[in-house]
Amino acid sequence: MTLSDTKPWWQGSFGYQIYIRSFADSNNDGYGDFQGIRSKIPYLKDLGIDFLWITPFYPSPMADWGYDVAEYCDIDSTFGNLDDFDALVGQAHESGIKIVADLVPNHTSDQHKWFKEARKGPENEFRDYYIWKDPAPDGGPPNNWVAYFGGPAWTFDETSGQYYMHLFLPEQPDLNWRNPKILEEFDQILRFWLERGVDGFRIDVAGGLMKDEQFRSNPEITPWDPEGDRWEQFESFEHRYDIFQEDNHEIFRRWRSIFDEHGAYLHGETYILEPSGLAELLPGDGLHGGFWFEPMHIEWDPDEIRRSVVEVSDLVGESILWAAGSHDMPRSPTRFGNDDTGRFRTLALNTLFSFLPGVPVIYQGEELGLIDGDVPEEHKLDPVALNDKQFGGRDGCRTPMPWSSSSNEGGHLIINGFSEVQPWLISKQRDASETAEAQIGKPDSWHSYYKELLHTRRSLPDLTGLEVTWLDSGQGPILWYERGPVGVVINTSSESELVKLSLDSEIVYKTPQVEMTEIGEEIVISGVGAFVYLRD
């Protein structure tokens, strides 16, 4: 029996995040849907994708665009129905692609039947499904916890005279995970989807489920300014009691047994920016893996890049999910320059990720080199846009996927190949060069660079279990590691750099800025270049 026969399916795989509302609209109603995803399975297979992580598709009033779930075992009609979902799973599996769903267990919508019942009063059987507390002596919130989106994490309920807790919007009340009935409810929810063929779940807010039993106030680091942006408000406190409680692991250990029955991938949105903190969230017998978010917060600086990859890779290894971007942050090419420089930097970073231990995931459109879409102020829809001075909200990274150039056919405007009607999120039209239609099959396109990277990764020897050896000096613009017979070099500088390789090394992938000298041992890497080599 070979290693590939025994290792979990996700080790060695490459993931692709789909923001379902904006990926592909099959029925021209302005919203992405399951049939749209099905139509792009050949595109994703050709690109070299192994699994799709799809953002929430459950019934929802869309206060936070699906992350406020009103029913966990059904499909929002915006995206199709259960038959459409089953058809997607079947077609993806036939193409060798796994499906990973997004589970939102920290909170529900305030329109969920559980919360509607809970609001009827303290004696209701569903009251303890959520977190309710009496006011503080001054009549204010029970403690000083703040929400991720800004403001207190408590909303007063006039009917009962109590506060309910929410780490996010008031429309997203937090579930009480100390209630055994919640554990039982979610056992059933997980089994419902796993038995339909789902290959895994990404757990939203994986560090937030359990709260301190005594609901103690968090230590204050700087004075809290309720008028500050959401990042400033949240970072005013040391989050000792509201998130990352040790007994979160009890939930994931319970779930692990369910997932292992199905050979499914249990991983989380593990939003912590310290390598040791991520390691603590992944003790080995709970979550199989967790997303690492530090690379989404760095400047393009070699020391910051090293800080974001070296220590965490050593501590967490195969349990990391690497990502340069997502639906919650400005696109990586935007952060790194908002131009071709930013695109090349993102490509280099993804090249660095692709051969480290762990699972790389790219966000839809990253393979096209997309920068953030331009959403006019009057059309912004993100509920936190007005309270996010740092990034201005998340609309820019969520604009519809540009499949083809805008055109008029039969009197209808085809909007970047996404929909014949005005899409749910209005943005300025993309340039034709940014579309999939313009890039597929073109040798010098971003799509081709990413396709070649993914196919190179698949063609090389299995690296699972092999350690990483860093060959750079630990300073300067060159980052260089080897893992078994495979080596990866990136130049973070805007200036050319020289790297000497042994004669037994074969370059198997390179970005356009890499040039070989006549000698063959010396590689000149122009600014922000990357290459991968294989030793005999």
**Hey, which residues are catalytic here?**
204, 261
What would the two tokens of residue 418 be? Answer: 């996404």
Q: Which helix (H) or strand (E) holds 183?
A: helix 180-194
Phi, psi of 440 (to 5 degrees): -60, 130
What would the two tokens of residue 495 be? Answer: 């200036």
What would the two tokens of residue 292 be? Answer: 């690492």
Quick one: how many helices (H) and strands (E) in the chain?
14, 21
Is beta strand 15-18 parallel, antiparallel or unpaired with respect to 359-363? Answer: parallel
Q: Vertex 12, ends 261 and 301: CA angle to 5°? A: 125
Q: Which residue has the tokens 């003790």?
A: 283
* Own/partner pairs, 468-473, CB within 8 angstroms, 24+ separation: 468/313, 468/314, 468/356, 468/357, 470/310
Is beta strand 51-54 parallel, antiparallel or unpaired with respect to 15-18? Answer: parallel
Q: Return d(Cα 334, Cα 529) in angstroms, integer.
A: 18
Contact by Cβ (8 Å): 80, 24: no
Closest CA to 497 of 528, 532, 473: 528
Contact by Cβ (8 Å): 458, 6: no
What would the two tokens of residue 368 be? Answer: 């096209």
**Residue 467 DSSP label:** P
Q: Return d(Cα 300, Cα 295) in angstroms, integer.
A: 10
Contact by Cβ (8 Å): 79, 33: yes
Q: Which helix (H) or strand (E) holds 37?
A: helix 34-39
How many CB atoms within 10 Å of residue 493? Answer: 16
Q: Residues with Cβ < 8 Å from 462, sequence gap 6 or more? A: 3, 4, 12
How many residues are recorded in the chain?
A: 536
Q: What's the distance, CA 484 to chain centroid?
A: 28
Identify the bridge partners of residue 130 per DSSP, sorted by sequence position: 175
Q: Return d(Cα 493, Cα 324) in angstroms, integer.
A: 19
Q: Vertex 342, ends 340 and 348: CA angle to 5°? A: 105
Q: Residues with Cβ < 8 Å from 409, sequence gap 6 or more? A: none
Identify the bridge partners of residue 73 per DSSP, sorted by sequence position: none
- What SS3 class is residue 314? helix
